[in-house]
Amino acid sequence: MKTHSVTPSEITHHWFLVDASGVPLGRLASRVAQVIRGKHKPIFSPHLDTGDSVIVVNAAKVRLTGRKLEQKRYFRHSGYMGHERFTALSTLMATRPERVVERAVFGMLPKTSLAKQVLRHKLRVYAGAEHPHVAQQPTVLVLGSAGRQA
């Protein structure tokens, strides 16, 4: 029996809606990364885009455990010596809470060009409950305590 390799014409893409209020950031990020990569489907193939689009709402209400709000810092560097910059998580949550969820999901993806493309095209994050993707009729993806779809 031959192994079936999925072709791009066999792949169907869906839209999912995730409410981030009260959900721990890591559990949310790992589940969203699985869905946008397509690992929840039996036709998953690591070299093809088999994933679905995910809309995350209420990113400002995501739960941060421990003392992350006070201690966690994000690093960026310009490329010049001595030009590293650190941004506190509390500052980022106050100004751009969408970026916190995006960075967490990016950390869960493999560092490949396909993963960067999937993150750019399949993930939409909004700080509030409003989103402009009503026409896509997204299915609600419920994250339980174990991060499974209910």
Q: pLDDT tens digits for the chain (150 residues)?
A: 888 889 989 999 999 999 999 999 999 999 999 999 999 999 999 999 999 999 999 999 999 999 999 999 999 999 999 999 999 999 999 999 999 999 999 999 999 999 889 999 999 999 999 999 999 999 999 886 544 454
Whole-structure pTM value: 0.89
Q: Report, in angstroms and rounded to the nearest whole number, the Rg of the chain calculated over CA atoms.
A: 17
Q: What structural domains and CATH numbers belong to the chain?
A: 12-64+95-140 (3.90.1180.10)
Cβ atoms within 10 Å, residue 109: 19
Q: Which amino acid is present at 93?
A: M
Rounded CA separation 59/123 (Å) = 13
